Structure 1
């Protein structure tokens, strides 16, 4: 297969994207370490985000106000990454754009410098290098030696996909060798869930532990959540206890809303979005209303 050499300086654009990501976090009064809610960041910056039943990754619509449209058909972590990518178009003053479906965020090198810039911005705004270093060190792990399940836990902390984290660690921040990244890439989401849960399941899984720094965790109905041992849930039945496992306590998200889960001095607010009945996709509507039973925008 013939490859083409890009006509732009990737290293210079990557540096520009990293600096813009740090400046964007600072503008929204967010630190440069912890995981963020990308939808909350967009709201702070005055960018409206809407989930739609569309067969694409997402779209940036320049205007007053600027809007980001995301596909509700994509997995939850992918939606967050796509939102960060579209926000990159906004931050860099790009015109309206449509991003077609692709297999993996950053898996194929961009030949368009604007797309490369937006993609690299997404990686840095969601996964700043200081935050990644903290996430590994606080657990006593290193990127080169972690197991796939441990790497998946880090991905869940930053709200991104397993493969997206691997690509960013190896190609974005040089914390993971290409060889080790390739080996970890061979582990499929299906086999990861099988290893962690001890059983085959089609439902998406989120894993968190007591080292998770973010005060909130986004999920949607039917998502499985493996939370720390001894976790108890407050609220009106949003999370249903499934069973205790060696790695923690397994719950299933069954009802939209915001519910607190706590284990000793550790706690997190789980924000659950609805999914479409009898359809293979999630919440449709404005991102700011995604945890409500009904979207006021409808």
Structure 2
């Protein structure tokens, strides 16, 4: 028996998702340009978020309160995107759902309109078009001519993955040609880190420059952070590694919240712990407690 693929108006649903993302930011009294903490947004909306040792992208559990369960096994940027996706299910009043593992956020078009709606909502909620335009303009970059490390820098500012930003710029916003997006997608994370740092490493990397506007930066223990030249740390949460031509490299050493300053620029780095078991995975527990040195739970 042949199965029939679901057909739906993707453009109409994308417009609906963009409007819902804008309204959700406004409801939480967030601006329509800057990066957001998706976990803080969920808390404001009364949605409980928890990280679990589960082999899936995430799960939305409808109820009072509504709950989002995220896999602690996924990379930090993917967890944030998955959280925004599950929040989309909540905003649109969908029932409980489980999202299985995927190669990359939005890499394959959804055949289910609810999943497409939630995924597109996540893109617009985390990466609003006005904010992305500002991020490129203030650095005097353009999406079409940006280098891989420039794209990666902006992805880090909005807390998403390199590939996720490329897909959103190309398929979601038409700010980047499909041909250029495909070329940039061929750059592997390993090669990208090697190009930025001048050496190969398997450790996660976050880049933050003085144009970054968000007051906070989320990281995990053992994450490498490339911060602006002259960056100084208050506390012992970040350990200096070396100076590079483009900034100072640090390693996140312990859980907690630590301030970084570089001239007039400042940010609070919020570091979450990681599990030491094999295979390695991140913090397990309620999202609101992820930066505390001692875990608190329900």
Answer yes or no: is 1:294 the counterpart of 2:257. Answer: no
Match of 2:255 in 1: 256
* Residue correspondence of structure 1 range 127-138 to structure 2 within 5 A: 127-138=127-138
* Residue correspondence of structure 1 range 1-298 to structure 2 within 5 A: 6-235=6-235, 237-279=236-278, 280-297=280-297
- Take 1:195 and 1:246, find their aligned partners in 2: how far apart are those partners? 12
- Take 1:68 and 1:14, find their aligned partners in 2: how far apart are those partners? 23
Would you identify which runs of 4 or more consecutive aligned residues in structure 1 move more than 2 Å? none
Instruction: Could you tell me which runs of 5 or more consecutive residues in structure 2 were left unpaired when the two chains were aligned.
Output: none
Provide, for residues 31-69 of structure 1, a one-character-per-residue CA deviation record: whole Å limited to 9, x for no partner: 000000000000000000000000000000000100000
Shift of 1:221: 0.1
> What is the TM-score of this pair, normalised by structure 2?
0.98
- Take 2:12 and 2:204, find their aligned partners in 1: how far apart are those partners? 37
- Take 1:101 and 1:68, find their aligned partners in 2: how far apart are those partners? 16
What secondary structure is seen at the aligned counterpart in 1 of 2:282? coil
- Take 1:211 and 1:288, find their aligned partners in 2: how far apart are those partners? 27
- Take 1:205 and 1:291, find their aligned partners in 2: how far apart are those partners? 18
Equivalent residues, number: 295
> What is the TM-score of this pair, normalised by structure 1?
0.98
- Take 2:276 and 2:104, find their aligned partners in 1: how far apart are those partners? 27
- Take 2:263 and 2:6, find their aligned partners in 1: how far apart are those partners? 52
- Take 1:49 and 1:26, find their aligned partners in 2: how far apart are those partners? 21
Q: CA RMSD in A?
A: 1.1
What secondary structure is seen at the aligned counterpart in 2 of 1:149? helix
What secondary structure is seen at the aligned counterpart in 1 of 2:60? strand
